[in-house]
Structure 1
Amino acid sequence: MTESEKLSQIWRVMAKSIPPLKSLQAFEAAARLSSFLEAAHELSVTPGAISRHIKILEQYLGAILFKRHSNGVKLTSSGASYARKVVTIFEDLDSATKAIKYSAPRNNLTVSSLPVFAERWLSERLTSFQMAFPNTDLQIDTHVDAELFSRPKVDAWIPFSDGDHPGFEVHHLFDEFLVPVCSPSFRKTFPDSPSVDEIVNSTLLHDVNWGNDWSHWAQAVGTEGQRRDAGLKFSLYSGVIQAALDDLGVAIGHVSMIQKELAIGQLVEFSEYRIKSPKAFYLAIPRPKTAMKKSRSLVAWFERECKR
Structure 2
Amino acid sequence: MPPLNALRAFEAAARCGGFRAAAQELSVTPAAVSQHIRALEEWAGVPLFVRQSSGVRLSEEGARVQSAFRDAFDALGLAVAELRRSAPAGPVTIATLPAIAQLWLTPRLKAIRTALGARQVSVHALETAPNMLRDLYDISLFLGPAEGGSAKLGVVAAHDVIFPVCAPEIAHQITAPEDLAGQTLLHDASWMRDWRDWATACGVRLPNAEDGPRYSLYSLTLAEARSGAGVAMGHGFLVQDALADGSLVRPLPQDARTGRALILSLGPAFSAADAAAVTAVLTA
Please tell me the TM-score bracket, short chain as reference.
0.5 to 0.7
Aligned to 1:110: 93
Percentage identity across aligned positions?
A: 26
Alignment partner, residue 212 of structure 2: 231
Give unmatched runs, 5+ long, in structure 2: 1-86
| Alpha-carbon shift at residue 165 of structure 1 (Å) | 4.5
CA offsets 1:2-38 (integer angstroms, 9 cap, x no match): xxxxxxxxxxxxxxxxxxxxxxxxxxxxxxxxxxxxx
The question of 1:173 aligning with 2:165 is answered: no
TM-score in terms of structure 2 length: 0.61
Report if the CA contact (8 A) 1:183-1:268 is conserved: yes
Q: How far has the Cα of 1:299 moved from its partner?
A: 3.5
TM-score (norm 1): 0.57
For 1:226, the aligned partner's letter is P
* Other structure's SS at 1:136 match: coil
Structure with more contact order per residue of length (Cα contacts < 8 Å, sep ≥ 6): 2
- Go from structure 1 to structure 2 and tell me whether the alpha carbon gap of 1:161 and 1:118 turns closer, same or farther (over 3 Å shift): same
Q: Are positions 1:119 and 2:102 aligned together?
A: yes
The total of aligned residue pairs comes to 195
Q: Which residue of 1 aligns with 2:142?
A: 159
Larger Rg: 1
Q: Tell me if structure 2 keeps the 8 A contact 1:107–1:135.
A: no
User: For residues 281-303 of structure 1, what are the alpha-carbon distances to aligned partners after superposition, in whole Å with 9 as ceiling and x for unaligned?
Assistant: 00124xxx43x3x2534532343
Q: Which residue identity does 2:280 align to in structure 1?
A: R
Residue in 2 aligned with 1:185? Answer: 169
For 2:144 and 2:151, the matched residues in 1 are separated by: 15
Deviation at 1:243, TM superposition (A): 0.2
CA distance in 2, matches of 1:120, 1:274: 20
The CA deviation at 1:201 is: 5.0
The CA deviation string for residues 112-158 of structure 1, in whole angstroms up to 9 with x for no partner, is 111222122221122222222126332211112xx322682323321
- The equivalent residue for 2:78 is none
Q: Select which of 231, 249, 260 maps to 1:250.
A: 231
Contact kept, 8 Å, 1:156 with 1:283, in 2: the verdict is yes
What SS does the aligned partner of 1:256 have? helix
Matches of 2:242 and 2:215 in 1, distance apart?
A: 19
Q: CA deviation at 1:215?
A: 1.7
Unpaired runs of 5+ residues, structure 1, are 1-103
Whole-Å separation in 2 of the counterparts to 1:298 and 1:211: 37
1:304 maps to 280
CA drift at 1:230: 1.0
d(CA) in 2 for partners of 1:204, 1:117: 22
Output one character per residue of 1:197-253: Cα deviation in whole Å (capped at 9) or x when no partner. Answer: 321552111111122211221111112421111111111111011000111000011
Amino acid at match of 1:261: A
CA pair 166-238 structure 1, distance change in 2 beyond 3 A: closer
Alignment of 1:1-308 (within 5 A): 105-134=88-117, 136-144=119-127, 147-149=128-130, 152-163=135-146, 164-165=148-149, 169-188=153-172, 190=173, 193-194=175-176, 196-200=177-181, 202-285=183-266, 289-290=267-268, 292=269, 294=270, 296-308=272-284
Give the ranges of 4+ consecutive aligned residues of structure 1 lying more than 4 Å apart after TM superposition.
163-168
Distance 2:152 2:135 in 1: 13
Distance, in Å, in 2 between the alignment partners of 1:284 and 1:106 is 19
Q: Distance in 2 between matches of 1:205 and 1:132?
A: 38
Partners of 1:205 and 1:297 in 2: CA distance: 43
